[in-house]
């Protein structure tokens, strides 16, 4: 089982009510009903690749309380709306399905940046202009994080 955790620190940590879970589930269904998304109470939101009993890979989105934005303004990722965060996770599915995702590890921030940009484009007709701007800001932040982690030339 492989999890890709997309959301950074600063997001919601308060347990979700039934209404919160229903609202988030409806957002996923409204954006794309063909991708499985389900709630797990004490988990971090992630795009997960698993295998069934016969070894066939399948993907799903597991969401936790951090699917909602945090109360502070730590960075662009912490303020992604529910709709923008859901679009981002759904974009992970299509990047995986189409074999366009980058490997975990050194390129993880670049993969997240590409995923946010794809989410902004793929779901722009379902998102408001603030959501699209948040996704683009998240992509910029991820590129900055990637650059910051590059080795300093000697």
Q: Counting runs of H as helices and runs of E as strands, what totals does the chain give? A: 4, 4
The Cα–Cα gap between 110 and 96 comes to 15
Spatial strand order of the sheet with 57-63 comes to 2-5, 46-51, 57-63, 37-39
* Beta bridge partner(s), residue 39: 63
Question: What pLDDT, on a 0 to 100 scale, did the predictor assign at position 74?
Answer: 66
Please say whether the dihedral angle defined by the alpha carbons of residues 105, 106, 109 and 112, taken in this order, is positive or negative. Answer: negative
Assign 1 a pLDDT band (cuts: 50, 70, 90): low
* pLDDT score at 153: 82
Average pLDDT for the chain: 91
Per-residue model confidence (pLDDT) at position 105: 86
Contacts with 129 (C-beta within 8 Å, 6 or more apart), sequence order:
none
Give the pLDDT of residue 42: 86
Say what the pLDDT of residue 8 is. Answer: 59
For residue 95, pLDDT beyond 60: yes
pLDDT for 103 equals: 85
Q: How far apart are CA 133 and CA 62, in angstroms?
A: 24
**Mean pLDDT, range 87-116, rounded to an integer:** 94
CB atoms within 10 A of CB 99: 6
Mean pLDDT of 84-110: 94
How do residues 4-60 score in pLDDT, each as one tens digit? 556 556 788 899 999 999 999 999 999 999 999 999 998 999 999 988 999 999 999
Task: Give me 109's structure tokens.
Answer: 């921030």
pLDDT at 152: 83
Q: What is the pLDDT of residue 154?
A: 77
């Amino acid at each position: 089982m492989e999890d890709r955790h997309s959301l950074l620190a600063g997001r919601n940590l308060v347990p979700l009510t039934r209404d919160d879970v229903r609202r988030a589930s409806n957002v996923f269904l409204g954006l794309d009903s063909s991708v499985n998304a389900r709630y797990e109470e004490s988990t971090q939101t992630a795009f997960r690749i698993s295998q069934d009993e016969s070894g066939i890979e399948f993907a799903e989105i597991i969401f936790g309380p951090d699917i909602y934005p945090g109360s502070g303004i730590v960075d662009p990722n912490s303020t992604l709306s529910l709709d923008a965060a859901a679009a981002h996770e759904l974009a992970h599915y299509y990047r995986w399905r189409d074999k366009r995702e980058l490997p975990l590890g050194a390129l993880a921030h670049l993969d997240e940046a590409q995923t946010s940009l794809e989410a902004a484009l793929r779901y722009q007709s379902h998102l408001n202009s603030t959501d699209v701007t948040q996704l683009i800001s998240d992509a910029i932040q991820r590129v900055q994080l990637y650059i910051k982690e590059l080795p300093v030339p000697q």
